[in-house]
Structure 1
Amino acid sequence: MRSMRVVEVTAYGGPEVLRMARRPEPEAGAVPGRVRVRLKAAGVNQADLRIRAGRYADAVGDLRPPFVLGTDFAGKLLDPVAGMEPGARVAGFVPWFEMLTGDGTYAEIIWADPEWLAPVPDDVDFTVAASLPLASATAQQGLDRLDLPEGATLLVTGASAVVGRLAVQYGSAAGMRVVAVAHEGDEPELRVLGADHVVTRGTPEDVVAKVLAGDPDGVDAIFDGAIIGDALLPALKNGGVFLALAPDRVPAAERDIRVETVRAKPDAARLAESLRKVAARELTTRVADVMPLEEVAEAHRRAEAGHRPGRMILMI
């Protein structure tokens, strides 16, 4: 039986617990209803870092190391599916938390549900495509949960990173007034992408003060892409709505504030449209660094250090 390279979390801890290993390659037809994808790129996201560190140990139930992390992927189909032949360029994300099998995308070949898969346009690099699936779904489904009317003021934290950057663009396209919190120097680009007002990062208290300087009555909603949590609540109007992206950063409701959470689900049709917009230069994502799979521990270190805003991508 042929084997493939994977990265295993050998124990909960720092990046040093990530180890290269070999596992049997999936064989065609071995899993009913699933197809194989040979990966070219995989994304490293914040959930990966938190799972590896053991912060979600209770949430993963009986799953214990060693397991393989990773949700985002881009690569080539090995098996035919409706409308796509072997060799087709595809992207998507594995709903890792819903499956809890420990089979993620830090691997050469994965099993995928055909309903997860969106075609990747020829002029979109695999590294760019792999930065989009989970982030795009989180931004779009998060905005769905906020359910804001046109003209509402939306505060997006983490707007220099990929989820927040996409939330700025989708929010602006939906007719919202967007206030973005971003790295210094990103202000001009974010204004081009749809932000009406940009404030630079700082302590939560500094950010709240800067937001209230421009919106003294507070904002209608917060999309907490930077996973800051309840320290942002003073920037929110009474009766506003807060979207939390991480289960350990969900604020307690106060002042009639509605608190929502989102765990994105695959949506191939929306992802295909977003990839089409990336190809047409109508939507931009952000890749921080591209590193080989063997350097996954360094990729995690850079991601945790905030080395550069955007998605860390593993080349496979």
Structure 2
Amino acid sequence: MRVVEVTAYGGPEVLRLSRRPEPEAGEVPGRVRVRLKAAAVNQSDLRIRSGQAAGRLGDLTPPFVVGSDFAGRLLDPAPGLEAGTRVAGFVPWFEEGTGQGTYAEVVQVDPAWLAPVPDDVDFTTAASVPLSALTAQQAVDMLRLPAGSVVLVTGASGVVGRFAVQHAVAAGYRVVAVANDGDEHEVGVLGAERTVRRGAPEDVITGVLGYAPHQVDGVFDAALIGDPLLPVLKDGGVFVSATQERMPVAERGISVLAVHGTPDGARLKEILEKVAKRELITRVADVMPLEGAAEAHRRVEAGHRPGRLVLLI
């Protein structure tokens, strides 16, 4: 089967199309095979390829295959799913530690990671959803605030932030979003009551307090601003960071937490059903062939237009 390997740490040029044996049914106990149709490019893929995440990989060294998000057809029957079912999910790449990611034609996965893809959702759209939407949903769940609470979401122009705005609104929160200049209308369509322009932390604080002078009840920091955001948060509020690497020091009784996206097939099924009903909006920025993975990484690093870039397999 075709795969795209990281042959060494470095720039996009280290990504090479290669061939590996296709896994056989039952090769790994408890795992089922999915023949992929699409795989999304995530920021974590770029960090792994460049070597920025090498400290998290233990003894794993190139060559290996990156990639987390996927959509395709199930090759082996799984609990509640027949062979041939259209499915999506994401591989917890770091936790697996095998270097067998989704830039490949066939992957072996835990059935609990899988969700059926509704008929009205195509493979490229489905592949753009799992990791980002589940991470955002799990972050919003961690806030545990009463309905009507005011919540700040940073990075609302990004994929995770866009999902977080929508999940927070669905949870009954009033959302203030930090987004790129020009995205105010779109973020408002997603449900944010107020959009603050991305900029220096002091300008963001001024913008947020202009809308919520008594401070906000919770923060989901998808943009990883960190400590400078604490002045907008009430005593005893909740601060959720998108990574453990940028968690502020707790003060004033504030709970500081970090979300770590975890596969959840049941929750992903609900999310994909909302996508099919247009109750949850995702965005595919572009679609490229698997052999174009290096160019896809270049575009992501250069700041391609908003949305998830998807590899067609």
Higher mean C-alpha deviation, range 247-256 or range 270-279: 247-256
Per-residue deviation, 1:138? 0.3
> C-alpha distance in 2, partners of 1:245/1:127?
25
Which structure 2 segments of 5+ residues have no match? none
Higher mean C-alpha deviation, range 257-266 or range 245-254: 245-254
SS of the counterpart of 2:260? Answer: coil
Within 5 Å, give how 1:133-152 maps onto structure 2.
133-152=130-149
Q: Does 1:279 align with 2:276?
A: yes
The alignment's TM-score, normalised by the length of structure 2, stands at: 0.95
Q: Are the structure 2 counterparts of residues 252 and 60 from structure 1 closer, same or farther at C-alpha, using a change threshold of 3 Å?
A: farther
> C-alpha distance in 2, partners of 1:279/1:75?
17
Deviations 1:229-282 (A, max 9, x none): 233233223332221112332222233322111111111111111111111111
What residue in structure 1 maps to residue 301 of structure 2? 304
What residue in structure 2 maps to residue 261 of structure 1? 258
Match of 2:80 among 77, 80, 83: 83
Q: Are the structure 2 counterparts of residues 232 and 288 from structure 1 closer, same or farther at C-alpha, using a change threshold of 3 Å?
A: farther
> C-alpha distance in 1, partners of 2:137/2:294?
30
Match of 1:270 among 267, 270, 286: 267
Higher mean C-alpha deviation, range 251-260 or range 130-139: 251-260
Per-residue deviation, 1:309? 1.5
Q: Does 1:57 align with 2:54?
A: yes
Per-residue deviation, 1:89? 0.5
Which structure 1 segments of 5+ residues have no match? none
Per-residue deviation, 1:159? 1.2
Deviations 1:139-176 (A, max 9, x none): 11111222222121111111122211111111111111
Letter in 1 for 2:103: Y
Per-residue deviation, 1:72? 0.5
Over the matched positions of the two proteins, sequence identity in percent amounts to 68
Within 5 Å, give how 1:286-301 maps onto structure 2.
286-301=283-298
| RMSD over equivalenced CA pairs, Å | 1.6
> C-alpha distance in 2, partners of 1:236/1:289?
37
Work out whether residues 229 and 249 of structure 1, in 8 Å CA contact, stay in contact via their aligned partners in 2.
yes
> C-alpha distance in 2, partners of 1:15/1:226?
24
What residue in structure 1 maps to residue 93 of structure 2? 96
Letter in 2 for 1:20: L
Q: Are the structure 2 counterparts of residues 178 and 184 from structure 1 closer, same or farther at C-alpha, using a change threshold of 3 Å?
A: same
Q: Does 1:242 align with 2:218?
A: no
SS of the counterpart of 1:294? Answer: helix
> C-alpha distance in 2, partners of 1:68/1:264?
20
What residue in structure 2 maps to residue 230 of structure 1? 227
What residue in structure 2 maps to residue 176 of structure 1? 173
